[in-house]
């Protein structure tokens, strides 16, 4: 091959202006075939029809701090229903002058979650931090010591209830799910049957039937005179439900560990518990971190079902606000606002899970 004598003298040919830059991008991504061009134009037309009126409704003509009566006269969105009632929607029936306590608890939880996002922080210290953090949240919410006014769990509501049910639900369901998964993989027929029946029955019924069970059947199960708080009963139902799904995820992880690992552990003379605790589970649980995030996301969304048995979670406090005659008829605005809240939570979790999946794929 002949090398040009003076490369500097050869001037680079510029690519044609139609294939680079903005025009090139538009040609390659929006008008790369007659059919695609037609679709692009059609969609742009539809967007032109839909977006400006929505923008007008949501921003230009909207009211943010007015009263309900003023809203009824306006043509735009009435965001005041959220702005004026945000404290009730977020914290529900928690005593009004004590709202800083659930607020601090939620902030504490969110910052713990954000801190745990970084894999460099995953060590024993993080576990202690979580224990301390959860205890602090419990004390803050419950009160009764350190000069805090005691608050009955019955009045815990709004976003704190939603977070409590989902985070505690997952934490408590996890060990139960691992035990069930081990039971399902066990060689002992009785244990295996019990686990399989539990997992398959729970996975076959809707969550709402479990919640009904907790609200109408559970009181019959207990001996006379003992009553269990409604929130705790719902929490138990959510834990039992989530555990079955975790068990299936963990089973997937256990199946992905090659037989050689089990055999190597046995040949070292480890007994069952040592084998599982030291060799199998650490590997299996690492594999199943991303699908477990998926379960956390569904648990977060599914806690909204407690509305049906009359607990005051985020969705129910919104509905209570909407049943106030002053704010009746502005459901679309209120539901959109809390949909945004749920979306932010779930979307950041699923983004995190996707990133984690890439990092763990070694």
Give CB contacts under 8 A, 24+ apart, made by 206-210: 207/237, 207/238, 207/241, 207/302, 207/305, 208/305, 208/308, 210/237, 210/238, 210/240, 210/241
Q: Are 251 and 185 in contact (CB under 8 A)?
A: yes
Q: Which is nearer to another protein, 123 or 274 (CB)?
A: 274
Residue whose tokens read 């019959």: 220
The residue among 17 and 217 lying less far from another protein, judged by its C-beta, is: 217
Least distance from another protein to the Cβ atom of residue 339, Å: 5
Place of tokens 């025009």: 23
Judged by beta carbon, residue 86 or residue 100, the one nearer another protein is 86
**Would you tell me how many other CB atoms lie within 10 Å of the CB of residue 255?**
12
In the bound state with another protein, the residue whose beta carbon lies nearer, of 119 and 277, is: 277
Helices (H), the chain: 21-29, 34-55, 68-73, 80-83, 86-91, 100-116, 124-142, 159-184, 189-204, 207-212, 218-221, 230-256, 259-267, 272-274, 281-287, 289-302, 314-323, 331-360
What's the closest the beta carbon of residue 300 comes to another protein, in angstroms?
8
Give me 51's structure tokens: 């977006």
Nearest C-alpha neighbor of 166 from the set 242, 53, 256, 280? 242
Would you say 70 and 76 are in contact if contact means Cβ atoms under 8 Å apart? no
Q: Which residue, chain included where needed, has tokens 């659930």?
A: 102
Report in angstroms how near the CB of residue 7 gets to another protein at its nearest.
37
Shortest distance, position 310 Cβ to another protein, whole Å: 11
Neighbours of 80 (CB within 10 A): 21
Nearest to another protein of 179, 287 (CB atom): 179
Q: Give the nearest distance from C-beta 338 to another protein in angstroms.
A: 7
Which C-beta is closer to another protein: that of 82 or that of 140? 82
Chain contacts with another protein (rule: CB under 8 A): 29-30, 32-33, 36, 39-40, 43-44, 187-191, 194, 201, 203-209, 212-213, 216-217, 219-224, 297, 301-302, 304-305, 307-308, 315, 319, 329, 331-332, 335-336, 338-339, 342-343, 346-347, 350
CB nearer to another protein: pick between 85 and 101: 85
CB 251 within 8 A of CB 288: no
Indicate the residue among 36 and 123 with the shorter CB distance to another protein: 36
Distance in Å, CB of 102 to another protein, minimum: 21
Q: How far is the CB of 221 from another protein (least distance, A)?
A: 5
> In the complex, what is the shortest distance from the CB of residue 134 to another protein, in angstroms, rounded to a whole number?
24
User: How far is residue 40's CA from residue 58's CA, in Å, rounded to a whole number?
Assistant: 26
């Amino acid at each position: 091959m002949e090398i040009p004598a003076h490369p500097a003298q050869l001037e680079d040919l510029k690519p044609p202006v139609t294939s680079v830059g903005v025009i090139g991008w538009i040609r390659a991504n929006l008008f790369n075939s007659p059919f695609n061009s037609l679709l692009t134009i059609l969609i742009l037309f539809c967007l032109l029809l839909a977006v400006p009126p929505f923008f007008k409704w949501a921003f230009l003509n909207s009211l943010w701090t007015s009263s309900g009566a003023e809203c009824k006269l306006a043509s735009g969105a009435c965001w005041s229903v959220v702005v004026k009632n945000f404290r009730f929607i977020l914290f529900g029936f928690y005593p009004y002058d004590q709202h800083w306590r659930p607020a601090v608890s939620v902030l504490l939880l969110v910052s713990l979650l954000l801190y745990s996002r970084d894999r460099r922080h995953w060590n024993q210290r993080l576990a202690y931090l979580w224990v301390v953090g959860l205890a602090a949240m419990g004390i803050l919410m419950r009160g009764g010591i350190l000069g805090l006014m005691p608050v009955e769990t019955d009045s815990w509501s709004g976003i704190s209830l939603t977070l409590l049910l989902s985070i505690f639900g997952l934490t408590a369901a996890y060990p139960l799910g691992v035990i069930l998964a081990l039971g399902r993989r066990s060689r002992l027929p009785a244990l295996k049957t019990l686990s399989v029946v539990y997992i398959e029955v729970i996975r076959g019924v809707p969550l709402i039937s479990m919640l009904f069970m907790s609200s109408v059947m559970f009181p019959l199960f207990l001996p006379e005179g003992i009553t269990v708080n409604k929130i705790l009963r719902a929490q138990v139902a959510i834990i039992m439900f989530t555990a079955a799904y975790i068990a299936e995820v963990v089973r997937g992880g256990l199946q992905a560990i090659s037989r050689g690992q089990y055999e190597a552990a046995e040949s070292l003379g480890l007994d069952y518990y040592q084998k599982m605790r030291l060799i199998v589970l650490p590997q299996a649980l690492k594999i199943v971190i991303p699908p477990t995030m998926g379960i956390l996301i569904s648990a977060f969304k599914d806690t909204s079902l407690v509305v049906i048995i009359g607990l005051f979670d985020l969705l129910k406090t919104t509905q209570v606000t909407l049943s106030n005659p002053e704010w009746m008829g502005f459901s679309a605005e209120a539901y959109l606002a809390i949909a945004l809240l749920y979306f932010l939570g779930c979307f950041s979790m699923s983004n995190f899970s996707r990133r984690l999946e890439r990092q763990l794929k070694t």
